Every structure is written in structure tokens, then in C-alpha cells.
């Protein structure tokens, strides 16, 4: 049966966002204690400074390692980097400064733990602003990348020349590698090799000499260059060329899968690397590598020039003769956080996505990352885990793209142990691949049964399966269209109705709802139907995310804005549901919706995070990378630990964490005020903790005079030491009277205030 949705006209005020953000609302969503959790296991470049400290560039930031002290330090946006996706790194021997270049064109200069920002390339508007290489000679830094070549004065911190045309090569050709030798700078580019005298005015195309296909080079990009025995070597994909006179000839051709990742001349020997080996003069080194090579570097450590292998998943190594020391940061093994949930113990669970380029799933216990992927966990059937849901028993359901689902439990020893389910369930594969069983989003109903979507495109089979507390399986077809199994998003409302949405994986097919009425073996009383743009006010036929709030409303995130079903229980009585759209969010792409303990809505978009109040009639705040420590504006997932207010923002560049006031209210008052005493000048705010739901807080003098009234919506409120007139209060002991708007419960606490 199909229920036609009636449109309603929503009466609202047209308000400017900056006006509607009130002082009280700002306080409710204040975010503190920002942290960034990025993967630093993939080393892309490294340099050793004059003190023997190794600096390593990764897609999650920079880490330094002091071999003498055995100490490591990480640098992300929290420490001041403009970008964490680092692609090039170099050391200035004159003053020890470290130059860091990023994928998005930012240059950061680390100087004695201060960081200076160079944004000219990033804001110039180049189609490809990536920094590929940085060489520092004398007082000049030569910076290469997707824009060509530029020259930077490291003392004055100004750009001197930007070279758009390297001779006859196309404008802004990508420069992949730089080399300075015999008073010349050599550039390996996508069009060939170009060189020029260092003393020349490099913006003049006529001063450059080009070497390309006519000189024996291939038409593909030249990735690496090196001088060895006074000859220039160049690599392109799997072939190394050597220059003889003005002609390049093939020196070495590797197997078709052995793309060259690095090349350099070290102490009279030529080294080159592939993902599988590092070669010294064509002979592979006997290194027991922990993961694939991403290249290598070299530098003086312990007084000797050491080879430093770079790894795709294990950080960096120091090779001392045949002994390899691995330096690997203890971080997440991936920057992809596509779906997340938090269990009752405060463990954060994260899935990385689908499509063959993902890294399984991971758990963060507040101190340590537990990484589950094919490279470090034996028996994992796939890396493509793209949905995660934590059940009330603490077990996590991890849904995969092709290998069913896993249920992960924590054993008595504290280890997380997955059990895999891709054969012994009622799930069926997609029609085009007999062994490809796709489990999509999971949820838990009032009775403790686990429900999981069985994605199947256009094929017969169940659209949902359920597992009750006894472990019995039930399967349910799409009663409206038996071969339509395009759904990936799932929520269960207060009536037990399962609402399924078509995510951006499968295209736009609309929504399906289903309620078995508690009788999984009897389909005669089932309720089912569809919600589409043709029979309702739904903004888009694709649903990126679904959420049920604390009043039972269903929130729908689409690529065309935010919708809400006001009366989902109407389907239980053959009624029409009422669906509307949120005007504040507009037509933005909604990636995720998180309902916090205060019933506020945290909306993840491609332009940051919007925070709406309980009924979405007010914008409480907008969180962006430009005005906070958010690691990226493209936020894919949001969740929090309601017990302590830690909120997590998942992106494609890592995970951002902050502390919020969105804490689950206490069942009863247990008020603690801290710090005690509250020194207004030093502490700025007093925390009032242990509040019940919807608390009115009255601050009184010891004689009972009214000082200020505050509202506490969750477990925590803050007082800035000011009275109702905005004036700082005097040094004294104050009485705090808390009254719950949800019950008749009251509590009283004392707070000592010092004002100097």
C-alpha cells in the first residue's frame, strides 16, 4: 500500500543567520579541547636536519623523530599547520627551519615550534596547487608542483619569481622533482625535463632548455631525476633513462607492476625504489619490509649517511647496515572516517567506506587505536567496511560491501574480536555477482533485535534481515516491490517502523518503510509503503542519512537539503504523514545527522557543520575549518559520547574531536562546582556539573539576593562570574539553586568566588 503525503505550509520568519545566533545558544554549543586524529603511517617524504632529527611528511601531517632521545612529535592543524595533507618537506641548513608543502598548496615553516604560513600558492587559484618538491639553496627556496616552479626568499619571506613556462612546455606544467647541480636547476615535469642556470631570470621561457620525446624520453610524466657519476638519470613509471650527450637511452626496465617511487645517488651508488624493493645499483636490498615502500630518503644520523626507507603503512625506517629500525606513529591507519558510533564504554568505532580503496575499520579507546584492515589483521575478508552501529550490549555491527557483516565483541582481556557473517545468514548476493553479499546500515529495535539492510540492487531476496536476542534469523522482502533492494540507510522509529533510504551509493529510488508489528513469522499484518518526490514533499529521491530525534521525528538528509517527517506513526493507522523541509540549511548536501543528548541537530555538510536547536527553528552555530580547529569542511560523519560531551567529526582527511556541553543529563542531581575557588581572572568560567534534565539555575548571594539565572539543558552548565547586568561579581561565597523543569527535584550547592 502507498500512503500519499500531504504538503503543509510552514510559517517561519526569514532571519539572517548571524542575527539568530544568540549568546545563550553559543554557550550551549561551545567547543573546547580540540584534537585532530590523523593517520601518519604513510610516509611520502622525509628530510634529516643538521641535528640528526628526521622530519617526515604524511597525508595526516608531519612527525619528527629524534634518534638520540628516541622522541617523536606530531604536527597537525592543532599545532598550527594550515593543511595536514603534506606532500613535500625540506630543511633549511642555515637556520634549521623546516619547510612543509601540502596537497592544497600551503607552505608552513616550522621554526622552534613556531609555524609561519605562506598562502600565496593556495589562494592563487591554480587548478592543481599541490606542492611536489622543495629545495633550499643559500637563501632561496625552489618550490615545485602542479603550478610549475616558484622561487622564494627564505629570509625576507617573499616570492621572487613564479615561472609559468619552462621553455616550450605547456603553461603551468606539473613539476614532480627538482635537482640542483653544477649551477643549474633541473626539473622533472609531466612534459619532460627542463633545466636553467640558477643565475638566469627564470620567467623568460627562452632561457630554459627542454628535453622531451625528441630526445629519447617517453611521452609519459618524468617522476624522478638524479645525477650519478656525472650523468643524469630520469624515471618514468617502470623505466629508468640515462642521458648521453643530449639524448636519453633506456638504462633499466622493470616489470609492469614495479612503478618507480623514488631515485637518488647516495655515496657513489644509485638507488631506486618500487613498492616491493629498494635497489642499490640494480641489486635489491635484503630488507624485511613491514609494508610497501613509498620511496626513500637519506641523511646523516649517528655521524653516518643512512638510508631511510619510507613505507605506505608503517611510517619510516632507519637502515643501519642490515638492521632496520621502524619508526611508526601509533595513529589510526586511515584518514577515512565515513561512518562512526560510540559504545557505552566510550570507545569510538569508525568505518572507512567502500570501493576498494579503504582500510577496514578501527576502534579508538581514548588512548590507543585498534586498526582492523588487511595489512595488519589476519582473517579480515575485506577492507570495505562502510557502516557501523553499536548495539545496546556493546557489540558493534560492521557492514561491508561484498562480505556480509561482522559483529565485534570485546573479550575478557580487553581485545576486540570480530566474528564474520557472509555465508551463514539469510542474506543473498546482488544478481550480478553470486558471492557478493552487501550488508548496509544496521539498527536495534525496542526488543533488542538487530536489523540489517541487505543491499541487492534489482534482484529478488530480502531487503532486511533481523537477528533476535536468541540468535534466530528472519528475512523480509520489499513488500512494495520484491526486486527493489537499493537501500543503504536505516532507522527504526518509536513505533518500530523501519525506514529505509537510498544512499548516494545506489542513486535515487526514494524511501521504503516497513513494520512487521512484532510478528516476524506472520506477514498478513505487515505495514509497508514508499515515500517519494511524486507522492510527498521529499526534497530528493536519494537519502544520504536518516535520524530519529528524541521526540520521535524522522530527519532526512539529502543532496538537496534537510527534510523532516513530523508524524511517522501515522503509517500505523493508515494516515497521511506530514513532511517538510528546513529552510536554514537550504539546498546543501547533507552527509550525516547527529541528534545530541539535548535534542539539538548536528548536520554534516560539505561546507562545515550546522547546529540546529531541538525543533530546527534556530541555527545555534556553524562550525567551519576557517573559524575553528575542524580539520576539513567536508564532514562525512558526526557522533559523540553522551556521557562526557566529546564530539567527533569524521572527514576524508582525518578525525576532529572536541568537548561540548552536549552531555546526557543526570537521573538525579549530584552537583559539583569547579574550580573551587573560582578565580574569575584566571579561570574565566566555573563548571556546574551533575545537573538533571532542563535545569533552571539561580545564583544567589549568601543572604539570598538574586545574582543571575542560567539555563542548563544537559549535565553541564557554565558560569562566567557575571551577574544579571553583565558585571563581574565580587569575591564571596554564592549559593547555586538548581530546579529541574522535568521533575520537582531540587539541589543546592555552594561556590567560592575570588575576584582580584
Identify the pLDDT of residue 507: 65
Q: How far apart are CA 435 and CA 246, in angstroms?
A: 56
Nearest to 260 by CA among 177, 172, 142, 146: 177
Among 189-198, 381-390, 711-720, which is the least confidently predicted range?
711-720
Nearest to 419 by CA among 355, 476, 467, 487: 467
Per residue in 43-55, pLDDT tens? Answer: 999 999 999 999 9
Which string of b and e fits 140-151 if b means at least 16 CB within 10 Å? bbbbbbbbbbbb
Per residue in 132-165, pLDDT tens? Answer: 999 999 999 999 999 999 999 999 999 999 999 9
Per residue in 103-112, pLDDT tens? Answer: 999 999 999 8
Identify the pLDDT of residue 7: 31
Same domain, 363 and 432: yes
Q: Could you tell me if residue 729 is inside a domain?
A: yes
Same domain, 703 and 606: no
* The three three-digit cell numbers of residue 71, written as one number: 622522541
Long-range contacts of 258-261 (CB under 8 A, 24+ apart): 260/223, 260/224, 260/235, 261/293, 261/294, 261/295
Among 116-130, 520-534, 701-715, which is the least confidently predicted range?
701-715
Model pTM score = 0.88
Could you give the 3-state DSSP secondary structure of residue 140? strand
Same domain, 625 and 682: no
132 burial type by CB count under 10 A (0-12 exposed, 13-18 middle, 19+ buried):
buried
Identify the pLDDT of residue 15: 31
**Which pairing describes strands 578-581 and 6-7: parallel, antiparallel, or unpaired?**
parallel
What mean pLDDT, rounded, does the chain reach?
91
pLDDT mean over 171-200? 96
Q: How far apart are CA 406 and CA 452, in angstroms?
A: 11
Per residue in 74-94, pLDDT tens? Answer: 999 999 999 999 999 999 999
pLDDT mean over 284-310? 94
Residue 560: pLDDT above 70?
Answer: yes
pLDDT mean over 670-677? 89
Reduced 3-state DSSP string for 380-449: CCCCCEEEEEECCCCCEEEEEEEECEEEEEECCCCCEEEEEECCCCCCCCCCCCCCCEEEEEEEECCCCC
41, 49, 295 from 56: Cα distances, Å? 10, 11, 12
Domain boundary among 631, 659, 687: 659
**Phi and psi of 361, rounded to 5°?**
-140, 170
Q: Could you tell me if residue 666 is inside a domain?
A: no
pLDDT mean over 732-747? 83
DSSP letter at 120 equals H
Domain span at residue 54 reads: 41-327
Among 22-26, 31-35, 413-417, which is the least confidently predicted range?
22-26
Banded pLDDT at 13 (limits 50, 70, 90): very low
pLDDT mean over 529-555? 94
Same domain, 732 and 605: no
pLDDT mean over 405-428? 91
Per residue in 638-666, pLDDT tens? Answer: 999 999 999 999 999 999 999 998 888 77
Which H or E run includes 192? strand 192-197
Domain count of the chain? 3
Q: Could you tell me if residue 175 is inside a domain?
A: yes
Same domain, 136 and 241: yes
Banded pLDDT at 503 (limits 50, 70, 90): confident
Q: Could you tell me if residue 664 is inside a domain?
A: no
Per residue in 680-715, pLDDT tens? Answer: 988 888 988 888 888 888 998 888 889 999 887 788
Identify the pLDDT of residue 588: 94
Q: At 623, which CATH number? A: 2.130.10.10
Residue 439: pLDDT above 90?
Answer: yes
Same domain, 592 and 721: no
The label of the residue with cell 557522533 reads: 639
pLDDT mean over 455-463? 93
Domain boundary among 265, 299, 327: 327
Q: Could you tell me if residue 665 is inside a domain?
A: no
Same domain, 307 and 368: no
Identify the pLDDT of residue 435: 87
Identify the pLDDT of residue 653: 96
Identify the pLDDT of residue 711: 81
Q: Could you tell me if residue 219 is inside a domain?
A: yes
* The three three-digit cell numbers of residue 517, written as one number: 508489528
CB-CB contact of 560 with 583 (8 Å): no
Same domain, 348 and 420: yes
Sheet holding 260-266, edge to edge: 260-266, 269-274, 278-280, 283-284
Task: Say which residue, 410 or 315, is predicted with more confidence.
Answer: 315
Same domain, 424 and 502: yes
Which H or E run includes 28? helix 23-28
Identify the pLDDT of residue 28: 57
Q: What is the per-residue DSSP string for 507-544? A: ----EEEEE-TT-TT--TT-EEEEE-TTTS--S-S--S
Selection from 25-34, 170-179, 376-385 with the highest mean pLDDT: 170-179
Task: Say which residue, 486 or 11, is predicted with more confidence.
Answer: 486
Q: How far apart are CA 131 and CA 260, in angstroms?
A: 19
Identify the pLDDT of residue 712: 78
Q: Could you tell me if residue 1 is inside a domain?
A: no
Identify the pLDDT of residue 668: 79
Residue 4: pLDDT above 50?
Answer: no
Say what percent of the chain tops pLDDT 70. Answer: 96
Q: At 702, which CATH number? A: 2.60.40.4070
Per residue in 588-635, pLDDT tens? Answer: 999 999 999 889 999 999 999 999 998 999 999 999 999 999 999 999
Q: How far apart are CA 232 and CA 254, in angstroms?
A: 19
Q: Could you tell me if residue 667 is inside a domain?
A: no
CB-CB contact of 734 with 701 (8 Å): yes
CB atoms closer than 10 angstroms to residue 138:
10
Query: Residue 620, CB half-sphere, CA atoms under 13 Å: how many?
Result: 23
Same domain, 457 and 580: yes
Same domain, 650 and 677: no
Banded pLDDT at 506 (limits 50, 70, 90): low
Q: How far apart are CA 506 and CA 518, in angstroms?
A: 29
Same domain, 207 and 126: yes
Residue 12: pLDDT above 50?
Answer: no
Number of residues written out for the chain: 756
Residue 322: pLDDT above 90?
Answer: no
Domain boundary among 659, 682, 714: 659
The label of the residue with cell 525506514 reads: 499
pLDDT mean over 420-443? 91
Amino acid at each position: 500500500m502507498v500512503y500519499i503525503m500531504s504538503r503543509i505550509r510552514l510559517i517561519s520568519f526569514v532571519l539572517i543567520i548571524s542575527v539568530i545566533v544568540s549568546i545563550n545558544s553559543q554557550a550551549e554549543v561551545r567547543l573546547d579541547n580540540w584534537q585532530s586524529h590523523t593517520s601518519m603511517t604513510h610516509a611520502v617524504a622525509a628530510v634529516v636536519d643538521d641535528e640528526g632529527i628526521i622530519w617526515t611528511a604524511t597525508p595526516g601531517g608531519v612527525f619528527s623523530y629524534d634518534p638520540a632521545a628516541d622522541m617523536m612529535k606530531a604536527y597537525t592543524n592543532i599545532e598550527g599547520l594550515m593543511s595536514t595533507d603534506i606532500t613535500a618537506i625540506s630543511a633549511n641548513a642555515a637556520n634549521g627551519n623546516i619547510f612543509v608543502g601540502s596537497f592544497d598548496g600551503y607552505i608552513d615553516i616550522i621554526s622552534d615550534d613556531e609555524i609561519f604560513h605562506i598562502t600565496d600558492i593556495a589562494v592563487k587559484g591554480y587548478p592543481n596547487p599541490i606542492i611536489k618538491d622543495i629545495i633550499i639553496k643559500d637563501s632561496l627556496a625552489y618550490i615545485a608542483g602542479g603550478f610549475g616552479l616558484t622561487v622564494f626568499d627564505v629570509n625576507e619571506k617573499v616570492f621572487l619569481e613564479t615561472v609559468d613556462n619552462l621553455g616550450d612546455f605547456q603553461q603551468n606544467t606539473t613539476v614532480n622533482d627538482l635537482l640542483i647541480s653544477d649551477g643549474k636547476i633541473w626539473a622533472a615535469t609531466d612534459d619532460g625535463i627542463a633545466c636553467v642556470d640558477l643565475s638566469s631570470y627564470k620567467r623568460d621561457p627562452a632561457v630554459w632548455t627542454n628535453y622531451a620525446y625528441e630526445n629519447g624520453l617517453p611521452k609519459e610524466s618524468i617522476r624522478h631525476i638524479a645525477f650519478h657519476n656525472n650523468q643524469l638519470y630520469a624515471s618514468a613509471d617502470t623505466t629508468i633513462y640515462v642521458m648521453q650527450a643530449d639524448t636519453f637511452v633506456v638504462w633499466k626496465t622493470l616489470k609492469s607492476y614495479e612503478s618507480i617511487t623514488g631515485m637518488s645517488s647516495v655515496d657513489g651508488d644509485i638507488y631506486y625504489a618500487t613498492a616491493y624493493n629498494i635497489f642499490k645499483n640494480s641489486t635489491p636490498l635484503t630488507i624485511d619490509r613491514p609494508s610497501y615502500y613509498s620511496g626513500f630518503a637519506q641523511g646523516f644520523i649517528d655521524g653516518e649517511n643512512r638510508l631511510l626507507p619510507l613505507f605506505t603503512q608503517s611510517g619510516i625506517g632507519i637502515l643501519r647496515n642490515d638492521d632496520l629500525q621502524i619508526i611508526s606513529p601509533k595513529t589510526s591507519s586511515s584518514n577515512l572516517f565515513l561512518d562512526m558510533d560510540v559504545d557505552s564504554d566510550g570507545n569510538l568505532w569508525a568505518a572507512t567506506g567502500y570501493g576498494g580503496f579503504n582500510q577496514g575499520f578501527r576502534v579508538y579507546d581514548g588512548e590507543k587505536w585498534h586498526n582492523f584492515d588487511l595489512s595488519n589483521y589476519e582473517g579480515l575478508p575485506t577492507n570495505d567496511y562502510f557502516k557501523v552501529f553499536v548495539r545496546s550490549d556493546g557489540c558493534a555491527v560492521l557492514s561491508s560491501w561484498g562480505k556480509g557483516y561482522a559483529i565485534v565483541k570485546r573479550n575478557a582481556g580487553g581485545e576486540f574480536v570480530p566474528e564474520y557473517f557472509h555465508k551463514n545468514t539469510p542474506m543473498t548476493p546482488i544478481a550480478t555477482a553470486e558471492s557478493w553479499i552487501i550488508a548496509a546500515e544496521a539498527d536495534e529495535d525496542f526488543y533488542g533485535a538487530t536489523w540489517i539492510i541487505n543491499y541487492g540492487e534489482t534482484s529478488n531476496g530480502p531487503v532486511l534481515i533481523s537477528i533476535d536476542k536468541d540468535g534466530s534469523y528472519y528475512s523480509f522482502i520489499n513488500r512494495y516491490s520484491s526486486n527493489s533492494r537499493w537501500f543503504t540507510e536505516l532507522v527504526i522509529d518509536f513505533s518500530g517502523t523501519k525506514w529505509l533510504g537510498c544512499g548516494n551509493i545506489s542513486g535515487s529510488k526514494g524511501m521504503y518503510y516497513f513494520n512487521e508489528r512484532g510478528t516476524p513469522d506472520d506477514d498478513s499484518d505487515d505495514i509497508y509503503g514508499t515515500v517519494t518526490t511524486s507522492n510527498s514533499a521529499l526534497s530528493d529521491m536519494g537519502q544520504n542519512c536518516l535520524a530519529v530525534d528524541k521526540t520521535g521525528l524522522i530527519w532526512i538528509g539529502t543532496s538537496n537539503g534537510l527534510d523532516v517527517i513530523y508524524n511517522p506513526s501515522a503509517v500505523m493507522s493508515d494516515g497521511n504523514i506530514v513532511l517538510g523541509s528546513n529552510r536554514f540549511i537550504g539546498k546543501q548536501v547533507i552527509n550525516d545527522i547527529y541528534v545530541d543528548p539535548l535534542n539539538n541537530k548536528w548536520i554534516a555538510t560539505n561546507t562545515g557543520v550546522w547546529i540546529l536547536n531541538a525543533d530546527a527553528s534556530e541555527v545555534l552555530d556553524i562550525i567551519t575549518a576557517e573559524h575553528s580547529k575542524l580539520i576539513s569542511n567536508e564532514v562525512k560523519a558526526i557522533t559523540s559520547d553522551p556521557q562526557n560531551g566529546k564530539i567527533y567529526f569524521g572527514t576524508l582527511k582525518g578525525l576532529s574531536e572536541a568537548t561540548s556541553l552536549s552531555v546526557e543529563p543526570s537521573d538525579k542531581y549530584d552537583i559539583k562546582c569547579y574550580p573551587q575557588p573560582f578565580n574569575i581572572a584566571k579561570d574565566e568560567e566555573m563548571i556546574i556539573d551533575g545537573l538533571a534534565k532542563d535545569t533552571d539555575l539561580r545564583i544567589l548571594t549568601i543572604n539570598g539576593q538574586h545574582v543571575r539565572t542560567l539555563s542548563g539543558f544537559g549535565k553541564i552548565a557554565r558560569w562566567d562570574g557575571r551577574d544579571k547586568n553583565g558585571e563581574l561579581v565580587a569575591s564571596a561565597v554564592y549559593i547555586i539553586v538548581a530546579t529541574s523543569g522535568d521533575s520537582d527535584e531540587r539541589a543546592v550547592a555552594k561556590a567560592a568566588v575570588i575576584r582580584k
